[in-house]
């Protein structure tokens, strides 16, 4: 039996086989064989999902497209690129730069597989930008019965395929809308919670990209804004200090060492957080970087994550409840809580479907392999967010009933009816999906 472990080491998948097709024909043949024998099949990208959405089970076949990852076409006039679905973000960013192009918006993790990001609702921050799938102008897919299907943005079924949870076949090719290569002027500054709330509409509307973070057990908040600029980029020394010294050495290695000692006495977490805040949060810092560097935040320290989207009008109500919950329940949270903003869309299974959203994400670290008890904290976050019709990120952790999903997703039943029609043998169904539907 083969084994695949995700990046965070929160899921171990033991499929019957792991295969690495290199051509479109091999993928079609594989899907047809699995459909004929009713063998479960799932695709894994970079392994950055925290749950088991990608695992086909012990009798299934796990597919990696990492050998099917070529850039096939560059349309410089339309600023569009077409590539095979094994493409990962770092390589795509590098290839785009060579062509004078950039991706308009990214999250802090830029190591994901592109197709997997679309399937799970990957997003950045900026109220004028929808989730990543919105940049896709065309999907080419091998359906569960082995036929090739093309879905363009003007296709009525685009809203179904844009966030598919990997249920509608194997995406083999993507055409992505980009823009000319650009730089971002990033401003990071401390602000009080009250000031962020008072200036919220201005921060949201007057910046291309805006988010803020809170360091639990402190009163330290930091606002991050980024706007397109023609100013010259900072030199290598500032990038070295920002991404290697602060980002890797302090925020990952030193932080991990401190958390390792605090794992024996969680009451030390507030002191660790206060120290990290003094080391890493500037009163004000202004930088100019190529866009992908501006979005990027180094992640080395293993962690588990929960993140929810909800109506943007409830941003500060929800955040206050989370702060109060942490204090009242005496829960020690060892990582910043990040708050981002995304424009609404019409995709059936998108967490931002139908409304502009605030996303609140929180995590717990596993320093040097030590795993603290954190499910009580995540369950409390679930409880608060469900009061506000929160919808979880599909690639992260959550504990929600099928009835709650039905309440929060207007197209829930229609989506699963569409899946059953297109995958009559259920070969893309796994335990994760059965839990969503209340069948496991």
> pLDDT tens digits, residue range 44-77?
999 999 999 999 999 999 999 999 999 999 999 9
According to the model, what pLDDT value does residue 299 have?
Answer: 86
Query: In the chain, what is the straight-line distance between the N-terminal and C-terminal CA atoms, in Å?
Result: 23
Backbone angles phi, psi at 349, to 5 degrees: -110, 20
Domain boundaries, the chain: 4-64, 71-181, 183-392
Q: Which DSSP helix (H) or strand (E) runs through 212?
A: strand 209-214
| Topology given in CATH for the domain delimited by 183-392 | Vanillyl-alcohol Oxidase; Chain A, domain 3 (3.40.462)
pLDDT for position 73: 98
Position 29 pLDDT exceeds 90 = yes
Q: Is 440's pLDDT higher than 90?
A: no
pTM, rounded to two decimals = 0.95
Phi, psi of 231 (to 5 degrees): -65, 150
Mean pLDDT, the chain, whole residue set: 96
Indicate the SS3 state at residue 310. Answer: strand
Residue 438: how many CB atoms within 10 A of its CB? Answer: 11
DSSP per-residue codes, 148-198: EEEEETTSTTHHHHTT-TT-S-EEEEEEEE-EE--EEEEEEEE--HHHHHH
Q: How far apart are CA 14 and CA 6, in angstroms?
A: 12
CATH topology of domain 4-64: 3.30.43
Q: What is the pLDDT of residues 300-335, one digit of tens each?
A: 899 999 999 999 999 999 999 999 999 999 999 999
Domain boundaries 71-181, corresponding CATH code = 3.30.465.10
Question: For residue 118, what pLDDT band results from cuts at 50, 70 and 90?
Answer: very high
pLDDT digits (tens, 9 = 90+) for 384-394: 999 999 999 99
pLDDT score at 5: 95
Look-up of token digits 């992260």: 396
């Amino acid at each position: 039996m083969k084994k695949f472990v995700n990046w965070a080491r929160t899921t171990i998948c033991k499929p019957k086989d792991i295969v690495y097709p290199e051509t479109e024909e091999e993928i079609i043949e594989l899907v047809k064989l699995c459909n004929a024998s009713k063998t479960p099949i799932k695709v894994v990208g970079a392994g950055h999902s925290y749950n088991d959405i990608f695992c086909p089970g012990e009798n299934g076949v796990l597919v990696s497209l990492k050998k099917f990852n070529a850039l096939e076409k560059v349309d410089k006039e339309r600023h569009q690129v077409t590539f095979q679905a094994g493409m990962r973000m770092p390589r795509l960013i590098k290839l785009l730069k060579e062509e004078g192009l950039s991706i308009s918006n990214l999250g802090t993790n830029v190591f994901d597989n592109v197709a997997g990001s679309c399937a799970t609702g990957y997003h950045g921050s900026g109220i004028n930008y929808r989730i990543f799938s919105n940049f896709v102008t065309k999907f080419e897919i091998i359906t569960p019965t082995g036929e090739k299907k093309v879905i363009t943005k003007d296709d009525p079924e685009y809203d179904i395929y844009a966030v598919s949870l990997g249920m509608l076949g194997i995406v083999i090719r993507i055409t992505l809308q980009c823009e000319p290569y650009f730089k971002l002027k990033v401003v990071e500054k401390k602000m009080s919670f009250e000031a962020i709330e008072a200036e919220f509409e201005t921060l949201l509307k007057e910046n291309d990209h805006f988010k803020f973070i809170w360091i639990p057990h402190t009163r330290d908040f930091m606002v991050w804004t980024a706007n397109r600029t023609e100013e010259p980029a900072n030199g290598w020394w500032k990038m070295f200090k920002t991404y290697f010294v602060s980002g890797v050495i302090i925020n990952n290695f030193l932080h991990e060492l401190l958390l390792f000692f605090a794992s024996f006495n969680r009451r030390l977490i507030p002191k660790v957080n206060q120290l990290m805040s003094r080391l890493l949060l500037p009163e004000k810092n202004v930088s100019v970087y190529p866009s992908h560097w501006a979005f990027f935040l180094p992640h080395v320290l293993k962690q588990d994550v929960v993140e929810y989207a909800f109506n943007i009008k409830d941003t500060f109500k929800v955040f206050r409840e989370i702060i109060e919950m942490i204090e009242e329940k005496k829960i020690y949270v060892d990582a910043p809580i990040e708050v981002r903003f995304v424009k609404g869309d019409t995709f059936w299974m998108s967490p931002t479907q139908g409304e502009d959203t605030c996303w609140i994400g929180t995590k717990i670290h596993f320093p040097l392999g030590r795993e603290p008890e954190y499910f009580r904290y995540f369950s409390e976050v679930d409880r608060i967010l469900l009061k506000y019709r929160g919808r979880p990120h599909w690639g992260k952790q959550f504990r929600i009933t099928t009835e709650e999903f039905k309440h929060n997703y207007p197209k829930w039943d229609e989506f699963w009816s569409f899946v059953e029609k297109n995958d009559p043998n259920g070969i893309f169904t796994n335990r994760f999906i059965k839990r969503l539907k209340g069948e496991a």
